[in-house]
């Protein structure tokens, strides 16, 4: 089973093609400056790196070209789009609506759009990527994985800011937590390496990169 993973940014598209049967990443890439006149697709196929200059004016054109690349017989990745079993979308903000990953349907897309005010740079791109992927791969199941879902066990004392409460009730201004997919993986990997049940551990995670966050995990409750 092969899964295509998409991460749509404000002007970029990152993707990976993963063979789940062999637990092997077959290819990954990063489409940069989508909408500009010098769009570049950086590819890494089984460790071999290359760059392709290709103009993509929007996510429809970017995803269509990614699929063309995956089908290119030169790379020997897939012979047909039928080999792709499903598509995963990394979505930055799921608000209070989503506490886990979900199968995407019209209602899910609508709820993600409602969170645009909370992530005005990222969620519009996420929605555009979902719609483009649905158009290019109409019969494939699609899953939304939310960066905020991991942190939904935070109690109110942890997520409510010390500002007038009406800002939360009216505008949903609160702490949501981010980089949840990273924090989930790291916490479970720590438990695995220590050979302990995560329910017995208290862990401090540090996600360090262009964006950074710290997460306290108390026996599978995430802060």
Positions annotated as catalytic residues are 147
Task: State the CB neighbour count (10 A cutoff) for residue 207.
Answer: 16
Q: Which residues of 151-185 are buried (b: 16+ CB within 10 A; e: fewer)?
A: bbebeeeebeeeeeeeeeeeeebbebbbbbbbbbe
114 sits in which H/E element: helix 106-114
Helices (H) and strands (E) in the chain, counts: 6, 11
**How far apart (Å, rounded) are the C-alpha atoms in residues 28 and 186?**
21
CA 4-45-35 angle, to 5 degrees, is: 65
Q: What is the DSSP string of 157-176?
A: HHHS-SS-THHHHHH--S--
Torsion angles phi and psi, residue 45, rounded to 5: -115, 105
Residue 42 CB contacts under 8 Å (≥ 6 apart), including other chains: 29, 30, 32, 49, 50, 51
């Amino acid at each position: 089973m092969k899964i295509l993973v998409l991460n749509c940014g404000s002007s970029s598209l990152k993707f990976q093609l993963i063979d789940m049967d062999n637990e092997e990443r077959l290819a990954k890439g990063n489409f940069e400056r989508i909408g500009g006149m010098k769009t570049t697709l950086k590819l890494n196929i089984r460790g071999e790196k290359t760059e392709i200059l290709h103009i993509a004016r929007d996510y429809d054109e970017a995803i269509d070209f990614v699929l063309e690349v995956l089908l290119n017989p030169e790379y020997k990745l897939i012979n047909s789009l039928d080999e792709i079993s499903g598509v995963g979308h990394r979505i930055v903000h799921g608000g209070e609506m989503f506490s886990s990953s979900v199968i995407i349907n019209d209602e899910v897309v609508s709820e993600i759009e409602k969170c645009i005010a909370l992530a005005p740079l990222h969620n519009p791109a996420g929605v555009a990527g979902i719609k483009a992927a649905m158009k290019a791969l109409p019969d494939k199941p699609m899953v939304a994985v939310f960066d905020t879902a991991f942190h939904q066990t935070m109690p109110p004392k942890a997520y409510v800011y010390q500002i007038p409460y009406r800002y939360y009730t009216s505008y949903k201004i609160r702490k949501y937590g981010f980089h949840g997919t990273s924090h989930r993986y790291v916490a479970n990997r720590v438990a695995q390496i220590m050979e302990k049940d995560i329910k017995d551990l208290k862990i401090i995670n540090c996600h360090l990169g262009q964006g950074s966050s710290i997460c306290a995990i108390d026996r599978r409750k995430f802060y």
